[in-house]
Structure 1
Amino acid sequence: MQNPLAQISDVTYNAASQCFEALVTLHVGKTLVHVASAFHAPMNTSYRIITGGLTRVALRDLVRGNAMLSRRSAHAHTSSVTPQPRWKTQLSGRRAS
């Protein structure tokens, strides 16, 4: 079963440390938290067990405060309208006031 509040990036296997590694994105309130996660398991482990392990490790590290992470707010981007420069209005024949 997947956690709907967690997304896992491309999973890679690190043969030197014999673990699976991925960037796990956790939805915490209105914030997205990206946590680097490593789950020690043999290379023939099923994907379901790997993703569950990566998510558990990410959550554990986040709670303990020793996770390597980045954050950003999950709100929609607001666009702002910039006024036209004076020279543009003069080129188009409209008078600037």
Structure 2
Amino acid sequence: MSSYQTEVQNLNYNAATRCFEALVVFHEGHETRKVPISAPLPIDTEFEAVSTILVARAKSHRARGRAVLMSRSPAQKTGRLVHLNDMIRQFKDAMGLNDMPTAA
């Protein structure tokens, strides 16, 4: 069973547009989807109401395929864990830094 968590980050009120703006982050197993979202609400709206509305709007965007910011954990690759030294070696090869000693 994979873990699932939602969080609201960087919550701001934009006075010019009279909207709350935030980055809603969905953590699902090894995937993270970040949805920038806004909602036109009065500045005195309770935090719980603002966060509930922002998460609901972000879920709607994600369901429509409009949540484009996504990352996957580099620790899992084709069902097995990649050793840290392998990741460092791949990075050094890509950067042309083969003469540097490996950590660990």
User: Using the alignment, how far apart are the partners of 1:24 and 1:10 within structure 2?
Assistant: 9
Q: TM-score, normalised by structure 1?
A: 0.69
Displacement of 1:65: 2.1
TM-score normalised by length of structure 2: 0.65
CA distance in 2, matches of 1:71, 1:12: 22
Give runs of aligned pairs for residues 38-57 of structure 1, distance below 5 A.
38-57=38-57
Please list the CA deviations of residues 4-48 of structure 1 after superposition, one character each: whole Å capped at 9, or x if unmatched. 621111210111221100111112343100110111210000000
CA distance in 2, matches of 1:78, 1:5: 26
Identity %: 26
Q: Which has the higher contact order (CA 8 A, sep 6+)?
A: 1
Tell which structure's C-alpha radius of gyration is larger.
Answer: 1
For 2:70 and 2:85, locate their aligned partners in 1 and report how far apart those are by CA, in whole Å.
23
CA distance in 1 between counterparts of 2:84 and 2:61 reads: 35
Higher strand share: 2
| Unpaired segments ≥5 residues, structure 1 | 89-97
1:59 aligns with 2:59: yes
Give how far 1:59 is off.
0.6
User: Is 2:79 the partner of 1:80?
Assistant: no
- Matches for 1:1-97 after TM superposition, within 5 Å: 5-67=5-67, 69-74=68-73, 76=75, 78-80=83-85, 82=89, 85=99
Q: What letter matches 1:73 in structure 2?
A: R
The alignment partner of 1:34 has SS state of strand
Mark the CA change 1:27 to 1:14 in structure 2 (over 3 Å): closer, same or farther: same
User: What is the CA distance between 1:66 and its match in structure 2?
Assistant: 2.8
**Structure 1 residue ranges (4+ consecutive) displaced by more than 2 angstroms after TM superposition:** 74-78
Aligned mates of 1:75, 1:60 — CA distance in 2: 27
